[in-house]
Each structure stands twice: as C-alpha cells, then as structure tokens.
Amino acid sequence: MRIAWLRGRRRWWSAAVVVGLFGSLLVSACASPPAGASPAAVSPPQAAVASKYVILTFDDGPSQYTPQVLALLRQYGVKATFFELGQNVARYPAITHRVRAAGHSVQNHSWSHPDLRYVSWTKFRSEVLDTDRVIRAQTGITPHCLRPPYGGANALTYRRAASLGKKLRLWTVDPEDWSRPGTSTIVRRVLSKVHNGSVILLHDGGGNRSQTVAALPTILRTLKSRGYTFYTTTCT
C-alpha cells in the first residue's frame, strides 16, 4: 500500500527532475526552492572537478544488505554517499560505523521516512535532529545533507532544512531499484541514463536489496570503464 502510493510520488518527482535537466526553471517551478537555495539535484564538489564524474548514493539503510554493498564498493575502489534512516541506524549502529570507517559519506534521510512536506515543524525537527544524533554517535560527524523521502521538497522543506543547517540533496538518475524490476533492468536503466554529473539513486535498505547488490558489479565496472570518477557529497 505504501509502495503504491510512493510509486506515484516518485514518478512525479522523477519526471520533474528529468525535465529539469533541460531547464532549471521548470525544476524551480516544481520544487519551489527559495531564491538562493541550491539546485535540487546536482552538487558538484567544491574542489577540483574531474572531467567526468558521478555521485553514487544509497538510501534507506543501513540494513543487512549494506555490508555486501560495502564489499563491492571496496572491490571496485569506489566511494559513495549513504542517506540513512535514523531508525535503521539505531537498529544497525555498527554498520553505520563501518560505512564511515570505509571512507563513505553518511548523510541524513530522516528518522522514519515521512514525506517532510506534510509534517509539523516539531515532527520535521525531530525526524532530522534525532537522525543527526544517532549518525553522529557512530561517525563523529553531523550530516549537512538532507535527502527528503520521496523527493518531497518544496519551499517549506527547503526553508526548514536550511534552518537546521541542512541542504536538500535529490538525484538525477533513478532506476527504481526499490521496486525490484530485475537486476538487468536496474543495470540498463542506470547505464542508459547516466551522464557527466549524474547523481545516481540506489537503495541499500527498505526491503530485499539482492537485485541492487547483484546489479552493482556491472554498474561499477562499466562506469569506471567509461572514465567516470566517483565523488561523494557532504553539503559543506
């Protein structure tokens, strides 16, 4: 039930982001970030930027699948950004510790995955700050990126996030791996849509992620062979 609802939301948002690739004005109209806010999706690193790069992100973890993801990232020498749920960090704190110890970026994806456009300020605050607290306990670092569940970003969420010292970070390539469309479909969707500067959305939590894990070797190997550098994002 939740998935069906979520699918509709995600499709709407993905369409907005894809269209936005061809016109940032339209993204602004859809997402309504306030003036001066960061663009919705892409956050190129501040320092020297490689000629070709992608930002690989994993949402909804940590989970029992995260160690498999970590092993593959290590095998291919790739760093990624993990947008974790506070409730899952509380359940698997040692895995969050391992993610950071392996050199990846650990960022905030709320505590319980609500659509942050429709929660009270009190709820918004606790979703974000409680997640900060458990991530900080395992990594020693306070996240500065917030990925709103379902891509639920509007002027209010941008403003509330900013008041907590957070920048919203979305994505540009969404293979919908969470819906388990099959390993080869996940691979094809990523590799057909990726381009320089893409922010790729995958999931290491929120359900059975064996297809995502199985898709990773081909995705990583192919992107490396195409000459992409992998950056992480910290929103600082």
Q: Which of 56, 60, 186, 220 binds Zn ion (CB under 5 A)?
A: 60
Q: Is 81 in a helix, a strand, or coil?
A: strand
Task: Report d(CA 34, CA 224) in Å as an integer.
Answer: 36
59 is catalytic: yes
Q: Which of 84, 35, 36, 76 is nearest to 205 (CA)?
A: 84
Q: 């590799």: which residue's tokens?
A: 191
What are the two backbone dihedrals, phi and then psi, of residue 48, each rounded to the nearest 5 degrees?
-55, 130
Residue range at the interface with Zn ion (CB under 5 A); choices 7-15, 24-32, 89-97, 146-154? 146-154
Q: In the bound complex, what is the minimum distance in angstroms from residue 180's beta carbon to Zn ion?
A: 15
**CA dist., res. 97 & res. 53, Å (int):** 26
Nearer to Zn ion, 60 or 132 (CB): 60
204 sits near Zn ion (criterion: CB under 5 A) = no
Near Zn ion by CB under 5 A, which window of 71-79, 125-133, 147-155, 185-193?
Answer: 147-155
What residues contact 21, with CB distance under 8 A and at least 6 apart?
172
What are the helix and strand counts (H, E) for the chain? Answer: 9, 7
Out of 109, 132, 203, 204, which one is annotated catalytic? 203
Number of residues that bind Zn ion (CB under 5 A): 3
Coil vs helix vs strand at 50: coil
From 53-61, 62-70, 131-139, 157-165, span contacting Zn ion (CB under 5 A): 53-61
Residue 97: active-site member: no
Question: Of 59, 60, 132, 204, which one is the catalytic site residue?
Answer: 59
Min CB(229)–Zn ion separation in Å:
26
Check residue 59 for interaction with Zn ion (CB under 5 A).
yes
Residues taking part in catalysis: 59, 203
Q: Tell me which residues touch Zn ion (CB under 5 A).
A: 59-60, 149
